[in-house]
Structure 1
């Protein structure tokens, strides 16, 4: 039995969209890949972890995810711990940063 994230890691978001077909709806857990969304989704973080372990350059990872190289660089710098970049830890860090962000007060 394959882990869905492991299967996803073999495909770039572009390949995934081509495989599913542009006209078809993406599964709920992958819809963020299709949205013009500025935050990285968990699947993209998993892809980054796998590619870094393979020795893929940040530039190649950025191209595959259709993100800027600086976005990938910041993600890695921000979320690399003592044991390297780990997608689950990166997602937890991102959620914690988002949670602590002050809300705008509207009078």
Structure 2
């Protein structure tokens, strides 16, 4: 795991999803996105695992917002490029079916 990775973790008998902001040998600082309104927390590294890289289209806009909040320019650029490619794919397939 590294900073900027998306992870899931068990915290107080429930699963959270978030973005790694920082890490030490046995702890992760995670900005929690699900459930919402939790914010930044520390979790044991042993209770966390990498989230699958299967991003849905509807997840990209909130992720762009988070990249702006965390001032992560590279991640923002990657997300914008991903969104643009997906939009082009949708438009291409929409015109082929009509």
Same fold (TM over 0.5): no
Q: Which has the higher helix share?
A: 1
Greater RCO between the two (CA within 8 Å, min separation 6)? 1
Whichever of the two has the greater Rg, that structure is 2
Q: Which TM-score band (shorter chain)?
A: 0.3 to 0.5
- When normalised by structure 2's length, the TM-score is 0.33
- When normalised by structure 1's length, the TM-score is 0.31
Q: Which has the higher strand share?
A: 2
